[in-house]
């Protein structure tokens, strides 16, 4: 099993333009270097990154087919004809559904929603669902976070007399030809310059465009306009949960959304925050979304029907919200128990494999594994063994499940190349879902491994920690902390800065809490307190010389705030 000592510390080059950018923007050279490390090197891009504004969001009509979609939707709104929102069962899809259901409700438009059951129906549109929706007197289906591959289901909906609009941000299938208005930033014929919106981000852009169209037509002369800023709490949750890059549009949406989230008026978000352990009036961070709110939203769809999540996010009833949030919290606890069991069983199988060190991939399947949690298990196995991993469950003659990948190995492309062996697949470069016939499992495992052997070099099998800069302790001061606090929300493509310092003398060390390492380190007469979560195995270190990778953070104790170094990795010098 991998441990911290196996990781490669990879320091980024010191950019010669950092001094120039620092002078132009009026920031320190350290902050300028951090921006350049995140591909923000021009004066305009640096200013917009450090001061993200909703006014800088790009025109939604740059998205291909947005105009066609809005014209069609506006006609349904004016005629008060029923619209059904069809979405995915994860946090991105659930927030997107909730946003549009609430939005259309405020426009007095008949609206309903449909979420397929993860285990009974699977991902995206399906024939049974289309027929059920048709029986409900719906004239228009709008998909969110799904539908890009559902050509036959879209054709069926049209045959049954319904219109369809697809909004999706997943990869387009080979030879894609749209058969209905299809809004996807990945379309090669789209003029929208940012390609990595989340599903809920697309739903928000759709709402902006619809409101603009209705405003021009005089719709709001006798009706109040919906305040779209009130939806940014939902947008922030779904965007962070889907792990899309937190840059450009996504950064603006999440940064603004976090401000809305702390004062959210939604009873559901208040109740969800409460059961997640987030205190009232506490500033909510992207980490709070990723590790507290989103897992509870996702738990509902992983273990049973996800419809309750939309009721939670759209209800005005505090009692109903509290009941659903409590149920979510319970399901999340169940999910953790199931997940831990599968992770443990997976580890046992992996450790008993012959020739594991020479293998590039891990593929495991078992009829006793719950399909709703195998994606999380795959993520944990990749963290430990650093190989593209597929965790599947056996359902009759089929294997179904999820995969996760490592940097440099495009999982979606690999599955595309093996498409002749698969019944279904979809996803991104780092995460995907698949199904295949059990009889083809052997051939798939062999070809998947062969393909990985060709595309993954041995040095790619060791995880790397990207280090922003090597600095001395004398460079760390309140201004450094204040400038770093301008960089959140942290996430994909905007990671929390990691610094390297050393050699440092360890003045004291102890273990606190369950397994956390507390250090005091010293360099040139300057000392700092450090905390290493889950790193108690390094104790004791008094008197030793160490190099550390760390984040710079604030620690408040008895009302006094001080700078604390949060250890990412540690080595004896």
The 3 state secondary structure assigned to 290-334 is HHHHHHHHHHHHHHCCCHHHHHHHHCCCHHHHHHHHHHHHHHHHH
Question: Strands 464-467 and 431-437, how do they pair?
Answer: unpaired
The sign one gets for the Cα dihedral 397, 402, 406, 408 is positive
The pTM (predicted TM-score) of the whole model is 0.93
> Same CATH topology for 4-51+465-572 and 55-329?
no
Structure-token pair, residue 210: 């619809």
In DSSP terms, 83 is beta-bridged to 111, 140
Tell me which residue of 553, 309, 556, 430 sits closest to 567, measured CA to CA. Answer: 553
Please name the residues in contact with 345: beta carbons below 8 A apart, sequence gap of 6 or more: 366, 369
Question: How far is 472 from 432, CA to CA, in rounded Å?
Answer: 42
Among residues 462, 472, 487, the alpha carbon closest in space to that of 548 is found at 472
Sign (positive or negative) of CA dihedral 183, 186, 191, 192: positive
Which long-range contacts does 418-427 make (Cβ < 8 Å, 24+ apart)? Answer: 418/444, 418/447, 418/448, 418/451, 421/447, 423/398, 424/122, 426/123, 426/124, 426/149, 426/170, 426/171, 427/170, 427/171, 427/403
Phi-psi group of 53: left, alpha or beta (phi > 0 → left; psi -120 to 50 → alpha; rest → beta): beta
- Residue 551: DSSP 8-state: E
Structure confidence at residue 472 (pLDDT): 95
C-alpha to C-alpha distance for 367 and 423, rounded to whole angstroms: 18
Contact 18, 29 (CB under 8 A): yes
Cβ neighbours for 140, distance < 8 A, ≥ 6 positions apart: 72, 73, 76, 81, 82, 83, 84, 162, 163, 164, 165
Angle between helices 294-303 and 318-351 (to 10 degrees): 80
Please state which CATH class domain 353-461 belongs to: alpha beta
pLDDT of residue 3: 39
Q: Where are the domains of the chain?
A: 4-51+465-572, 55-329, 353-461
Tokens 């387009």 sit on residue:
172
Task: Kindly give, in sequence order, each residue whose CB lies less than 8 Å from that of residue 239, ignoring residues fewer than 6 positions away.
Answer: 92, 198, 200, 201, 246, 250, 253, 254, 257
Q: What is the DSSP secondary structure assignment for residue 90, as one 8-state letter?
A: S
Q: What pLDDT score was predicted for residue 484?
A: 95
pLDDT tens for the chain, 573 residues long, are 333 447 899 999 888 999 999 999 999 999 999 999 999 999 999 999 999 999 999 999 999 999 999 999 999 999 999 999 999 999 999 999 999 999 999 999 999 999 999 989 988 999 999 999 999 999 999 999 999 999 999 999 999 999 999 999 999 998 999 999 999 999 999 999 999 999 999 999 999 999 999 999 999 998 999 999 999 999 999 999 999 999 999 999 999 999 999 989 999 999 999 999 998 878 899 999 999 999 999 999 999 999 999 999 999 999 999 999 999 999 999 999 999 999 999 999 999 998 888 899 999 999 999 999 999 999 999 999 999 999 999 999 999 999 999 999 999 999 999 999 999 998 888 999 999 999 999 999 999 999 999 999 988 899 999 999 999 999 999 999 999 999 999 999 999 999 999 999 999 999 999 899 999 999 999 999 999 999 999 999 999 999 999 999 998 877 788 999 999 999 998
Q: How many whole angstroms separate alpha carbon 522 and alpha carbon 552?
A: 16
Token digits for 221? 């002369």
Distance CA 552, CA 529 (A): 11
Q: Which fold has domain 55-329?
A: inorganic pyrophosphatase (n-terminal core) (3.90.1640)
Can you give the pLDDT at residue 534? 92
CB 285 within 8 A of CB 488: yes
User: CATH says 4-51+465-572 is which class?
Assistant: mainly beta
């Amino acid at each position: 099993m991998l441990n911290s000592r196996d990781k490669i510390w990879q320091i980024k080059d010191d950019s010669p333009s950092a001094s120039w950018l620092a002078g132009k923007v009026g920031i320190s050279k350290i902050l300028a270097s951090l921006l350049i490390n995140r591909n923000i090197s021009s004066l305009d891009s640096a200013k917009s990154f450090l001061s993200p504004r909703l006014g800088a969001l790009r025109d939604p009509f740059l998205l291909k087919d947005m105009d066609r979609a809005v014209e069609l939707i506006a006609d349904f709104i004016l005629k008060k004809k029923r619209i059904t929102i069809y979405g995915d069962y994860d946090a991105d899809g659930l927030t997107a559904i909730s946003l549009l259901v609430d939005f259309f409700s405020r426009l007095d438009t008949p609206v309903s929603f449909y979420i397929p059951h993860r285990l009974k129906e699977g991902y995206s549109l399906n024939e049974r669902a289309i027929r059920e929706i048709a029986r409900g007197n719906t004239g228009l289906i709008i998909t969110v976070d799904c539908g890009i591959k559902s050509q036959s289901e879209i054709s069926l909906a049209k045959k049954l007399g319904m219109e369809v609009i697809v909004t999706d941000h997943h990869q387009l299938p080979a030879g894609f030809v749209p058969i209905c208005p299809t809004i996807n930033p990945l379309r090669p014929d789209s003029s929208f310059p940012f390609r990595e919106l989340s599903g809920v981000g697309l739903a928000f852009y759709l709402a902006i465009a619809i409101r603009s169209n209705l405003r021009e037509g005089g719709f709001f002369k006798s009706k109040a306009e919906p305040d779209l800023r009130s939806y940014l709490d939902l947008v922030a949750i779904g965007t962070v949960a889907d792990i899309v890059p937190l840059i450009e549009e996504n950064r603006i949406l999440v940064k603004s959304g976090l401000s809305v989230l702390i004062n959210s008026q939604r009873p559901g978000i208040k109740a969800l925050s409460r059961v997640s352990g987030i205190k009232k009036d506490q500033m909510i961070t992207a980490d709070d979304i990723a590790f507290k709110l989103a897992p509870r939203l996702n738990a509902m769809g992983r273990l049973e029907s996800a419809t309750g999540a939309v009721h939670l996010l759209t209800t005005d009833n505090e009692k109903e919200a509290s009941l659903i949030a409590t149920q979510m919290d319970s399901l999340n606890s169940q999910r953790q128990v199931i997940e831990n069991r599968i992770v443990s069983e997976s580890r046992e199988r992996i450790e008993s494999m012959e020739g594991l060190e020479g293998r590039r991939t891990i593929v495991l399947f078992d009829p006793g594994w719950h399909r709703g949690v195998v994606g999380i298990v795959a993520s944990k196995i990749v963290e430990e063994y650093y190989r593209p991993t597929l965790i599947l469950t056996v359902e009759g003659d089929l294997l179904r499940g999820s995969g996760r990948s490592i940097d440099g190995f495009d999982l979606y492309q690999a599955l595309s190349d093996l498409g002749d062996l698969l019944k279904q697949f979809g996803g991104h470069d780092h995460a995907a879902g698949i199904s295949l016939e059990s009889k083809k499992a052997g051939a798939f495992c062999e070809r998947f491994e062969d393909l990985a052997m060709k595309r993954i070099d041995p040095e790619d099998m060791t995880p790397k920690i990207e280090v922003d800069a090597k600095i001395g302790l004398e460079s760390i001061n309140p201004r450094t902390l204040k400038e770093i606090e301008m960089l959140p929300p942290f996430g994909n493509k905007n990671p929390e800065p990691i610094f390297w310092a050393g050699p440092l003398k360890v003045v004291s060390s102890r273990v606190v809490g369950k397994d956390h390492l507390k250090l005091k380190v010293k360099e040139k007469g300057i000392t700092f307190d450090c905390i290493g979560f889950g790193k108690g195995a390094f104790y004791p270190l008094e008197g030793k010389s160490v190099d550390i990778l760390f984040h710079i953070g604030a620690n408040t104790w008895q009302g006094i705030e001080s700078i604390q170094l949060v250890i990412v990795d540690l080595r004896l010098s």
